Amino acid sequence: MTVGDSLDFSHLFSDETKARKSSPLKSCIHLFQDPNIVFLGGGLPMSKYFPWDNLQVESPLPPFANGIGESPSGDAKDTCHVQVRKNEVTKAGDSKDIPLSRSLQYGHSKGQPEFLSFVREHTQLVHGMKYADWDILATTGNTGSWESTLRIFCNKGDTILAEQYTFSSSIYAAEAQGVNVFPVPLDDHGLIPERLESILDNWNPETRKPKLLYTIPTGQNPTGSSLSDDRKVEIYRIAQKHDLLILEDEPYYFLQMDAYQKDPSQRKATEFASHDEFVKSLAKSFISLDTEGRVIRMDSFSKVLGPGTRLGWIVASAKILKAYLQLHEMTIQNPSGFSQSIVAGTLNRWGQGGFLDWLIGMRREYNEKRDVAIDALYEYIPESPAFHINPPIAGMFFTLNIDASSHPEFATKYQSKPELVEQAIYEKVVASGVLVVPGAWFKALGDTQPPQPTSSKQELDPNGVIFRGTYAAVPLDKLREGIKRFGLALKEEFQL
Amino acid sequence: MTVGDSLDFSHLFSDETKARKSSPLKSCIHLFQDPNIVFLGGGLPMSKYFPWDNLQVESPLPPFANGIGESPSGDAKDTCHVQVRKNEVTKAGDSKDIPLSRSLQYGHSKGQPEFLSFVREHTQLVHGMKYADWDILATTGNTGSWESTLRIFCNKGDTILAEQYTFSSSIYAAEAQGVNVFPVPLDDHGLIPERLESILDNWNPETRKPKLLYTIPTGQNPTGSSLSDDRKVEIYRIAQKHDLLILEDEPYYFLQMDAYQKDPSQRKATEFASHDEFVKSLAKSFISLDTEGRVIRMDSFSKVLGPGTRLGWIVASAKILKAYLQLHEMTIQNPSGFSQSIVAGTLNRWGQGGFLDWLIGMRREYNEKRDVAIDALYEYIPESPAFHINPPIAGMFFTLNIDASSHPEFATKYQSKPELVEQAIYEKVVASGVLVVPGAWFKALGDTQPPQPTSSKQELDPNGVIFRGTYAAVPLDKLREGIKRFGLALKEEFQL
């Protein structure tokens, strides 16, 4: 199959992006490697003055027979020894390393080639890209990538769309820039395409139309819901119809699990016969559907290797990534050279299959954590129509939906205001020794001025409040204890 | 002496900063360490799933007897072994390490304590801070810190002040944001205080007054000039008079040198009898004069350890750094954990004195590079009033000032336009196999609308053009060869 190039979406760029000039210094830095030119052009310190050499680190060795939580013993049988020298060495097996003399130097704003090529191959393997000029840009993780996205596409006064509950930092980053975050309702299966379409079909032409949909499709933060593959196809069609870009923020993508079985005897952890089978089991991504370069995907190692790597990547069309690169040249320059040398050194030793083994191991761990959390919720949350549990099939979060109007003092003490019930519950649970966080922290509230005709009809459940918990952060015994405390607090609060 | 707290400069914040809310998730992350709380609050992966342990790296050992360019042999006599474990170890001497379980986790947006405490002590030692509530924030280097500074203080349409020639990326970052960069003339001794004062005294009240002076005081980029201590005192006074913040961008601060002696027999490299003597030899910084928290200092390891560490810091008042921290929480989160573990692991083993030894060694290297460059300039640049050499006393750059009107075809082929002469020279030198870069790339041109009464009187030398070269990037033999080619190109071009 011959695939075409992406469309041009530069009409959606912000004024800032349109005004941004590349530094001419960046345009001549490649002459540093030109043997015919004496490079007196830029302030590049000589690598002989970088004080580090012989960087080494140990990781477990694929296929991670003892699980991904096992520390390497140092023995060759279970330990992957990563060693990165300052200068290039040609010894077999080291050829995919990024020498410190290069990773610690200026230059590769796109990311180091050895890192990019691994991620590129991984992306093709998992998403099977459907247009020709897609590319990869190294980032310092999705928080920064999102801020960059806002700068690249949005002007002050613009409106973007997002799930009704979404990651609070993403909302606040937009709001600080004067960008309005307009909520799209979601349910247990994620964002509701019909609602999205109705919002856009009926958009008030007096207000600027949204250019961008921000979505966390897999293990959504905070609701824990995952967008079904069918809905993604629908949403992509709506995006085409309304000239909308889709920004998929996918830090939890590889934390996909089996469907939760309430009865433990029915549980049977999926074993994958091959890497291929594992890849086929994964949810379809928006980028895998994309034939036009309309989707921008933000990926990160924060949830699968470690947040402090501050290393991630964006998948998008080369045309769009050029704007990110120009911005990066004035912000991060590039992710840490140590991070790139260590992560690429590790992944290139593990290989694509080894990385998939790691991700399969990660899936297994989170599957168990999820089961323990949901078991505990069913055990400790009082049985009542006031409480709804939606067992997640991906991610780090579970959510308890609470009908605030079921509170015995809803109409009296709380003046029929669900947000006051929510706040009271929050204070109660923290006083009970557990931290779960209220939905209010995640609410996109940004209606436009004048308001949209759809916005008053949005609330699926006007008295619904949610609490987000995570099964990621603590060991299983503490997880159970925390949910027990949560349940007891609710029991007291609701006088059950 | 009792010192007071900084003044409040929040009236100078941008609309964006005033609108920025901190994520409530960040406000509760400290509960992760609270033994009485089960933390189900945030998506922190457990550190047992971070695949790395036993990170090791070698550096030379202070006092760097064989110079800072010497590779460590691996022997204890000349090699500093840095070893960072995943989990805290209590073994003596390792206590100042940042364990990977922490540096690779979410949490410390300000920077890791072991890194900050080293930098804090270094800052006090070098700058002798003069107000009480100063603080340090870890950054990914000065490029990003400058972008953040613009976001924090400037609205679209604002004007800032900068040296007439300044780092092009800094200009372009401002311009993309719709911030105007107004030039202040500089000479061989840096920014001219009288000109700065006259610009501000006569500022057209119809245009928004500048809030910020952006300056590279030491080894200025691109001119190589260094601002004298006396001028700094004057500029600080003017800043107080006009409610101006001073942003000192100081990546080259520790590349200070002896004054250039044309006669090699007169050269005597300064030997410092003590660390204290070295510190006393350094130029006064703006931050060392600051009693009010009016100065923001951007420091970086890019030029003294390696650009790819992507690790630097800002020194400013706690009140101002709070705004940077809130922005960082939505952009970089924090510098790479690997970078922080490795850099802090190295510096805490070297100690403050060891780091000063490194910087003294760096000074020695650059002193020699500068001498070779300036010797070659005097040797190869044709002797003519058309050319002016200003031997730098700091930094990585030398500049050749050229009187374009001396070009034999100035009035004919180049229509008396210096910029056309400049472009012709640039093309000539690149064709001759050397890259030096034209001043046009560094020119702050941003007059206001309506224009300032001072702006037409600014040009010190309307036919002057400059070329910037660096002695940093190549070995000494290539450096001489490059300057030779530069000289020959000029000789031909000017028919000398």
Structural domain boundaries of chain B? Answer: 10-27+93-358, 364-493
Chain B segment 450-489 residues within 8 A of A by beta carbon are 469-475, 478-479, 481-483, 485-486
Q: What are the chain A neighbours of B32 within 8 Å (beta carbons)?
A: 473
Which residues in B71-215 belong to E strands, given as ranges?
79-84, 134-139, 159-163, 180-184, 186-187, 190-191, 212-215
Alpha-carbon distance A241 to nearest alpha carbon in chain B (angstroms): 31
**How confident is the model at residue A25, as a pLDDT?**
80
User: pLDDT per residue over A397-417, tens digit each?
Assistant: 999 999 999 999 999 999 999
Chain B partners of A478 at a C-beta cutoff of 8 Å?
Answer: 38
Residue A107, pLDDT > 90, answer no
CATH code given to domain B10-27+93-358: 3.40.640.10
- Same CATH topology for A10-27+93-363 and A367-493? no
Of all residues in chain B, the percent with pLDDT exceeding 90 is 88
Q: Select the residue of B54, B69, B470 nearest A58 (Cβ to Cβ).
A: B54
CB atoms within 10 A of CB B74: 11
Cα of A249 to nearest chain B Cα, Å = 15
The pLDDT tens digits of the residues spanning B147-200 come to: 999 999 999 999 999 999 999 999 999 999 999 999 999 999 999 999 999 999
**Interaxial angle between packed helices B476-493 and B418-431, expressed in degrees from 0 to 180 and rounded to the nearest 10:** 130
Rounded mean pLDDT, B312-326: 98
pLDDT of residue B26: 77
- Give per-residue pLDDT as tens, B271-297: 999 999 999 999 999 999 999 999 999
Q: Which of B20, B24, B72 sits opposite A176 (nearest CB)?
A: B20
Between residues 58 and 77 of chain B, which touch chain A (CB distance below 8 Å)?
Answer: 58-60, 68-69, 71-72, 74
Residue A466's beta-bridge partner residues?
A401
pLDDT at A461: 86
B37 in reach of chain A (CB within 8 A)? yes
Chain B CB contacts of A306 under 8 Å are: 45, 47, 49-52, 100, 104-105, 337
What integer pLDDT is reported at residue B1 of this predicted model?
57
Counting beta carbons within 10 angstroms of the beta carbon of residue A273, is it exposed (0 to 12), middle (13 to 18) or buried (19 or more)?
Answer: exposed
| pLDDT at position A455 | 78
Neighboring chain B residues of A45 at a CB cutoff of 8 Å: 302-303, 306-307, 396, 472-473
Per-residue pLDDT, B457:
67
Q: What is the mean pLDDT of residues A171-200?
A: 96
Would you call B78 an interface residue with chain A, using a CB distance cutoff of 8 Å?
A: no
Per-window interface: B 255-294 vs A, CB < 8 A: none
- Cβ separation A86–B71 shorter than 8 A: yes
Mean pLDDT, chain A, integer:
95
Using CB atoms within 10 Å of the CB of residue B328, give its burial: 0 to 12 exposed, 13 to 18 middle, 19+ buried: buried
The pair of structure tokens assigned to B342 is: 């490795």
Mean pLDDT of chain B: 95
* Confidence category of residue A31, pLDDT binned at 50, 70, 90: confident
**CB pair distance less than 8 Å for A473 and B302:** no
Q: State the burial class of residue B398 (Cβ atoms within 10 Å of its Cβ: 0-12, 13-18, 19+).
A: buried
CATH topology of domain B364-493: Aspartate Aminotransferase, domain 1 (3.90.1150)
pLDDT at A82 over 70: yes
Say if CB B32 and CB B42 are below 8 A apart.
Answer: yes
Q: Is the minimum CB–CB distance between B303 and chain A shorter than 8 Å? A: yes
Once rounded to an integer, what is the mean pLDDT over residues A150-168? Answer: 97
Q: Does A362 touch chain B (CB under 8 A)?
A: yes
pLDDT of residue B486: 98
User: Each residue of A349-375: pLDDT tens digit?
Assistant: 999 999 999 999 999 999 999 999 999
pLDDT at B92 over 60: no
* Residue A457 pLDDT grade (very low, low, confident, very high; cuts 50, 70, 90): low
For B72, which of A53, A309, A482 is closest by C-beta distance? A53
Instruction: Report pLDDT for A33.
Output: 80
CATH architecture observed for domain A10-27+93-363: 3-Layer(aba) Sandwich (3.40)
Q: What was the pLDDT predicted at B30?
A: 78
Say if strands B212-215 and B159-163 run parallel, antiparallel, or are unpaired.
parallel
Lookup: tokens for B383: 């002797």
- Distance, in Å, from the CA atom of A78 to the CA atom of A98, rounded to the nearest integer, reads 24
Q: What per-residue confidence (pLDDT) applies to B125?
A: 98
A134-152 tens-digit pLDDT:
999 999 999 999 999 999 9
Looking at the complex, does the CB of residue A339 fall below 8 Å from at least one CB of chain B? yes
State the Cα–Cα distance between residues A471 and A98, nearest whole angstrom.
Answer: 36
Q: Could A25 and B482 be called an inter-chain contact, meaning their C-beta atoms sit closer than 8 Å?
A: no
Q: Which of A28, A106, A441 sits opposite B435 (nearest CB)?
A: A28
Whether the CB of A396 is below 8 Å from some CB of chain B: the reply is yes
CB contact burial A144-181 (16+ within 10 A = b; e otherwise): bbbbbbbbbbbbeebbbbbbbbbbbbbbbbbbbbebbb
Give the whole-number percent of chain B exceeding pLDDT 70. Answer: 98
Q: Do B303 and A147 touch (CB under 8 A)?
A: no
- Helices first, then strands: H and E counts in chain B: 14, 17
Torsion of CA A83, A84, A89, A90, to 10 degrees: 60
CA distance B237 to chain A (A): 31
Gap from B4 CA to chain A (nearest CA, Å): 32
* Alpha-carbon distance B46 to nearest alpha carbon in chain A (angstroms): 5
Determine contact: A24 vs chain B, CB below 8 A. Answer: yes
pLDDT at A26: 77
pLDDT value of residue B27: 76
Asked if A333 and B478 come within 8 Å (Cβ–Cβ), the reply is: no
Alpha-carbon distance of B393 to A21, in angstroms, equals: 32
CATH number, domain A367-493, options 3.40.50.740, 3.90.1150.10, 3.40.50.2300, 3.40.1190.20: 3.90.1150.10
Confidence of residue B455 (pLDDT cuts 50, 70, 90): confident
Q: Structure tokens of A118?
A: 């691994």
Interface confidence, given as ipTM, is 0.97
Categorize the per-residue pLDDT at B23 as very low, low, confident or very high, splitting at 50, 70 and 90.
confident
Q: What number of C-beta contacts closer than 8 Å exist between A and B?
A: 377
Say whether residue B346 is in contact with chain A using an 8 A CB cutoff: yes
Q: Is the pLDDT of residue A91 over 70?
A: no
**Residue B446 CA: distances (Å) to CA of B150, B190, B427, B452:** 16, 19, 26, 11
Average confidence (pLDDT) over B123-138: 98
Residue B303 binned pLDDT confidence (cut-offs 50, 70, 90)? very high
| Predicted confidence band of residue B456 (pLDDT cuts 50, 70, 90) | low
Per-residue confidence (pLDDT) for residue B94, from 0 to 100:
53
Ramachandran angles phi, psi of B72, nearest 5°: -70, 140
Kindly report each contact of residues A123-126 with a partner whose C-beta sits within 8 Å and lies 24 or more positions away, as own/partner: A123/A315, A125/A279, A125/A352, A126/A279, A126/A282, A126/A285
Among candidate residues B367, B254, B356, the one with its CA nearest the CA of residue B302 = B254
Dihedral pair phi/psi, residue A372, rounded to 5°: -65, -40
- Which residues of A fall within a CB distance of 8 Å from B48? 69
Q: Is B383 on the interface with A (CB under 8 A)?
A: no
Q: In a 3-state reduction of DSSP, which class is residue B217?
A: coil
